């Protein structure tokens, strides 16, 4: 019922709000640079970041009446920064607010200011901060501050529902049907309500002539419409997968994957670990690194205690054991003295057998 009311309200809004209510556009030539150095400013503004990798640009100063529904569209001309900050100063309190957003390299991110603390009343200045590499260039072609209308809303929903993401490990746990997981309404809700409304209309129109198969057909069609988003995403993903792995051999596939570093480490380490009874301990504080390393070193006899101890007590370690010290680890190892200290002993003498960007392979002597 709650969703029904929400959609009724939405359609009510459609009748009164056909298009954008407020919009303020700034071209690249109107933007000011507060932090960073200007390289070029014509149809695009190209700025080099300061030694800390920061850029701060400002829009022309005026009194802005902030609306909680405002959005800020940014248009980048080249590879955009990963992090964007909106910085604004309010009129009365003179307080400066700042809010960061991760857009993971989107060329035209739309920053949604709904629910952001301090985004209300009047503002005297609005600035945009960017985090990138030291001295790295960033090109922006325009900024737009606007209060979205229904068409914007529909466009955003479409973009959210149809946006394609590549596979992520969390996909095996959940699929929201949206790009931004917190966006409401979700497609399943929308199509469920649409189907429900269609069934009600069908029953009201046909009354005694309505059939169960007619109702089922409406439900099936609704399912089909909802599924079309997923079907397209799945095929898009297949295209991406084909680009990444098509025509590669088994081993080259692994080297072309996100795990290539770990597979490369295993390739280098396995000839060293050639004893039948070799025991390999994985020491690292990052689950992903440790899991990937343990997997590619398998079928060797690997010890990895996720969420437990990195390495066992000294009494369990013996000469001939191998230890993989991943980049992130909290093991007390001193390469200059070749000593590894564990609880319960003064230090094992070890020999470094492999140094790799994934980690270091040492053997207990």
Partner 1 sequence: MSTLYLTFGALSTFLPAWVLVSRLVPADIPSRNCLLGGYCILLGMVSTTIIMRALSTLGIPVTLISVASVSTLLLLAVRQIPLYVQGPHKPVTLHQSLPLNRPEKVLALLCLGLLASRGIAIGLEVYLRPVWAWDSMQHWTKQAKVFFEMRGVVPYVSIENWLELGGNGVYTNMHPDYPIATPLLQAWTAIVLGYWHSSLVNLLWPAMWLAIGLVFYSQARVAGANITVALAATYMILSMPLLNTHAALAGYADLLMSACYLGAVAAFYNWSQTRAPWLLTLSLMTGTSCLLIKNEGFYWFLTLLPGILLATAKHRAIMAWLAAGALGFMVFLYAVYPDLSVAGHSLADFDIFYRPDSWIPIYLSTLVHDNWHLLFYLFLATLLTTPFLGKKVMPILAVVLSAVALYLMLYVMTSNSAGAVQFTSLNRVALQLAPSLGFFTLIAYLALSDKKNISEAS
The token duo for 57 is: 């640009």
Site for partner 1 in 218-257 (CB under 8 A): 219-220, 222-224, 226-227, 229-231, 234-235, 237-238, 241-242, 244-246, 250-251, 253-254, 257
Per-residue CA distances from 189 to 13, 31, 136, 151, 161 (Å): 19, 41, 43, 20, 12
Single out the segment in contact with partner 1 by CB under 8 A; choices: 104-112, 134-142, 162-170, 264-272.
162-170
187 interacts with partner 1 by CB under 8 A = yes
Element (H, E) at 230: helix 212-245
Q: What is the DSSP letter of 196?
A: H
b/e for 30-62, b at 16 or more Cβ within 10 A? ebebebbeeeeeeebbbbbbeeebbbbbbbeee
Q: How many angstroms separate the CA atoms of 150 and 17, rounded?
A: 6
295 interacts with partner 1 by CB under 8 A = yes
Quote the least distance from Cβ 356 to partner 1, whole Å: 19
202 interacts with partner 1 by CB under 8 A = no
286 interacts with partner 1 by CB under 8 A = no
Quote the least distance from Cβ 149 to partner 1, whole Å: 26
Site for partner 1 in 2-41 (CB under 8 A): none
Burial of 253 (C-beta count, 10 Å sphere; 0-12/13-18/19+): middle
Angle of helix 212-245 versus helix 150-162 axis, rounded to 10: 60
326 interacts with partner 1 by CB under 8 A = no
Binding site for partner 1 (CB under 8 A): 167, 169-178, 186-189, 191-192, 195, 211-213, 216, 219-220, 222-224, 226-227, 229-231, 234-235, 237-238, 241-242, 244-246, 250-251, 253-254, 257-259, 277, 279, 291-292, 294-295, 298-299, 301-303, 305-306, 308, 312, 316, 318
């Amino acid at each position: 019922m709650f969703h029904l009311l929400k959609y009724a309200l939405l359609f009510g809004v459609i009748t009164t709000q056909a298009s954008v209510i407020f919009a303020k556009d700034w071209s690249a030539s109107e933007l000011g640079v507060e932090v960073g150095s200007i390289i070029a400013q014509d149809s695009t503004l190209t700025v080099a970041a300061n030694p800390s990798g920061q850029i701060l640009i400002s829009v022309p100063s005026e009194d802005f009446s902030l609306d909680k529904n405002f959005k800020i569209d940014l248009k980048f001309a080249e590879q955009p920064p990963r992090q964007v900050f909106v910085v604004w100063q309010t009129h009365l309190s003179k307080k400066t607010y700042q809010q960061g957003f991760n857009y993971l390299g989107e060329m035209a991110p739309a920053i949604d200011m709904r629910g952001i603390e301090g985004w209300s009343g009047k503002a005297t200045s609005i600035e945009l901060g960017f985090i990138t590499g030291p001295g790295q260039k960033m090109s922006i072609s325009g900024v737009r501050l606007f209060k979205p209308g229904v068409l914007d809303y529909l466009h955003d929903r479409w973009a959210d529902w149809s946006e394609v993401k590549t596979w992520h490990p969390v996909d095996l746990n959940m699929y929201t049907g949206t790009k931004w997981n917190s966006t409401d309404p979700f497609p399943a809700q929308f199509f469920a309500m649409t189907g429900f409304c269609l069934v009600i209309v069908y029953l009201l129109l046909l009354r005694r002539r309505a059939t169960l198969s007619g109702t089922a057909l409406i439900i099936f069609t609704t399912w089909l419409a909802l599924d079309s988003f997923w079907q397209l995403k799945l095929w898009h993903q297949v295209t991406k997968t084909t680009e990444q792995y098509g025509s590669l051999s088994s081993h080259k596939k692994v080297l072309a994957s996100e795990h290539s570093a770990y597979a490369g480490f295993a390739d280098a380490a396995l000839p060293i670990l050639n004893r039948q009874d070799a025991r390999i301990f994985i020491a690292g504080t990052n689950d992903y690194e440790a899991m990937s390393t343990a997997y590619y070193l398998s079928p060797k006899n690997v010890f990895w205690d996720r969420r437990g101890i990195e390495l066992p007590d000294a009494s369990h370690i013996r000469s001939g054991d191998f230890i993989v010290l991943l980049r992130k680890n909290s093991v007390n190892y001193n390469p200059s003295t070749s000593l590894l200290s564990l609880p319960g002993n003064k230090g094992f003498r070890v020999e470094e057998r492999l140094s790799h960007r994934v980690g270091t392979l040492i053997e207990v002597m």
